[in-house]
Amino acid sequence: DQQVKQNSPSLSVQEGRISILNCDYTNSMFDYFLWYKKYPAEGPTFLISISSIKDKNEDGRFTVFLNKSAKHLSLHIVPSQPGDSAVYFCAASVSGGSYIPTFGRGTSLIVHP
Amino acid sequence: DAGVIQSPRHEVTEMGQEVTLRCKPISGHNSLFWYRQTMMRGLELLIYFNNNVPIDDSGMPEDRFSAKMPNASFSTLKIQPSEPRDSAVYFCASSPGRSIQNTEAFFGQGTRLTVV
């Protein structure tokens, strides 16, 4: 059973607009959340994270929002650029445990020029 | 640092053959992970080592899969005998340690395995 769910396999956005990638989780023990970005033929690279003590974390064009009551997080990219086209993985871990990140299946983002 | 290094990048083998995937983690990292990526399951954890000791191997699909970490700078994932359903991209990742500030895992470029 998937503990981290990314229900949208793909997303298409126009350059300059906002991209919103969503992620849901089922394990209430998760308290640290991460987003990774993956280009073809490369390994995933860390993008941004958020601790459960916060509800928002911003880094340049990337912002992650966390709604603990809904067990939902989202990644906002503003403005979207063609170079953002990649697969985005949501991951979650338990800080008091082994910190092993559990990943979702990923969402493929395509940003059109 | 060169990052996490995996070899080979691509492997094509016949069903029934033994396959060995190799990984060199980032120097100084205490945790090492092996993940498998498939279309159906996404990135699934196979095994996790901490300080060279296997901590969680519950993700290893079956006895055909085995992993070792003889020292802090080297790990192998072996499949014997290999089957077509093992075809996937296998990633090795390492992270600095067991604290909330060091949760980010650094991934290698992966090994694309095709079993025919």
- Please measure the distance between the N-terminal and C-terminal CA atoms of chain A and give it in whole angstroms: 37
Return d(Cα A30, Cα A102) in angstroms, integer. 9
Chain B stretch 17-76, residues whose beta carbon is closer than 8 A to a beta carbon of chain A: 31, 33, 35, 41-45, 48, 50, 55-56
The pairing of strands B42-50 and B53-56 is: antiparallel
Residue of B37, B41, B101 to mutate when probing chain A, most A C-beta within 10 A:
B37
pLDDT for residue A98: 62
**Closest among B116, B114, B110, B108 to B26, alpha carbons compared:** B108
DSSP state of A101: P
Q: Does B102 touch chain A (CB under 8 A)?
A: yes
Q: Kindly state the helix (H) or strand (E) to which residue B23 belongs, with its residue range.
A: strand B19-24
pLDDT in tens, A59-113: 999 999 999 999 999 999 999 999 999 999 999 988 766 668 889 999 999 999 9
Question: Does position B102 have pLDDT exceeding 70, yes or no?
Answer: no
For residues A27 and A96, the answer to whether their CB atoms sit within 8 Å is: no
Q: Does A93 touch chain B (CB under 8 A)?
A: yes
Return d(Cα B66, Cα B52) in angstroms, integer. 14
Residue of B40, B55, B103 to mutate when probing chain A, most A C-beta within 10 A:
B103
pLDDT in tens, B24-59: 999 999 899 999 998 888 899 999 999 999 988 989
- With CA atoms as reference, the chain A residue closest to B55 would be A98
For residues A8 and A75, the answer to whether their CB atoms sit within 8 Å is: no
- With CA atoms as reference, the chain A residue closest to B100 would be A95
